[in-house]
Amino acid sequence: MREETITSPDLSFGTSADVGTDAKQRTSSLRKAWKRVGPPSVAFVLFIGGWELFCRLSGLKPYLLPKPSDIVMAASENASNLWVSVYTTITEAVLGFLLSIILGIGFAVLLASSKLIERSIYPYAIIMQTIPIVAIAPIIVIWFGAGMNAIIIIAFLIGFFPMLSNTLIGLNSTDHNMKNLFYLYNASPLQTMIRLRIPAALPYIVAGLKISCTLAVIGAIVGEYIAGIGGGNGGLGYAITVASSRLQTAYLFACGLSASLLGIAFFLLVNAFSKWMLSSWHESEMKSSEG
């Protein structure tokens, strides 16, 4: 009789080589993460530590140069007022930013639809951008009154031109071969704008968003300096003014750092939105996501 050997099925879920490969991949990912996060973290710790050590050894008065520990203490002692100021500035900056997006993209579409309109109006947009906002802020206060309305308009004016110029460049940079193809298929100018030119301009629009979002925070704080109303609902600009007049330098630093963190948070949100929107088809974000 012929002997038959029955082999038992292999129930192992992986080999030692697979485990080693997974370990190497995890190690490689950890090294990449450390290369991104490690050097800035080390530099930050050294900077803060050196700042603290210098202030302690030099004996500088806190109103001249506060220690990082003094800044943290001032922020914790005035946490409630600081949160109110940050919330007010966020509201003003977001509203000004949204207004700059809507009007900036809208005017760019209008200018890109006709070269005659672009040549007629775009130079005045450049002139408006070159005028210092401090020079026209009193006029804005007269027209819209002191308070949040004027601050939103100032934040909008600072963030408007980057949105307009970047969107207009993107709309005018559409591939001519694609425009000719749409023309051959008898597409109307509106169809060409919506289905071709605006999608092709999205990377430029995102670039304008990244610039305008941080400028909106700056515009809101500048507006609070000029047109803000004080009291318990004042923004970071008002808090900085009060802290400087009272020589509360530690709290002044805390307000300035809060404004900086607010701008960084705005930028990171817009950057995440751009990656979500462009990573599946645009080359720049595809490369960054793969790296």
Q: Are 165 and 111 in contact (CB under 8 A)?
A: no
**Average of per-residue pLDDT values in the chain:** 83
Q: Are 212 and 97 in contact (CB under 8 A)?
A: yes
Q: pLDDT tens digits for 81-104?
A: 899 989 999 999 999 999 999 999
In this prediction, residues 54-70 reach a mean pLDDT of 86
User: Which pLDDT belongs to residue 144?
Assistant: 85
76's tokens? 């914790």
Judged against a pLDDT cut of 60, whether residue 4 lies above it is answered with no
Judged against a pLDDT cut of 70, whether residue 179 lies above it is answered with yes
Confidence of residue 146 (pLDDT cuts 50, 70, 90): confident
Q: pLDDT tens digits for 184-227?
A: 888 888 888 888 898 888 989 999 999 999 999 988 988 888 77
Judged against a pLDDT cut of 80, whether residue 36 lies above it is answered with no
Confidence of residue 10 (pLDDT cuts 50, 70, 90): low
Confidence of residue 7 (pLDDT cuts 50, 70, 90): low
Out of 13-27, 101-115, 234-248, 256-270, least confident range: 13-27
Question: What is the model's pTM?
Answer: 0.80
- Its CATH class, for the domain covering 83-290, is mainly alpha
User: What is the residue extent of each domain of the chain?
Assistant: 83-290
Judged against a pLDDT cut of 60, whether residue 178 lies above it is answered with yes
User: Which pLDDT belongs to residue 289?
Assistant: 45
In this prediction, residues 109-113 reach a mean pLDDT of 91
In this prediction, residues 256-284 reach a mean pLDDT of 83
In this prediction, residues 240-253 reach a mean pLDDT of 88
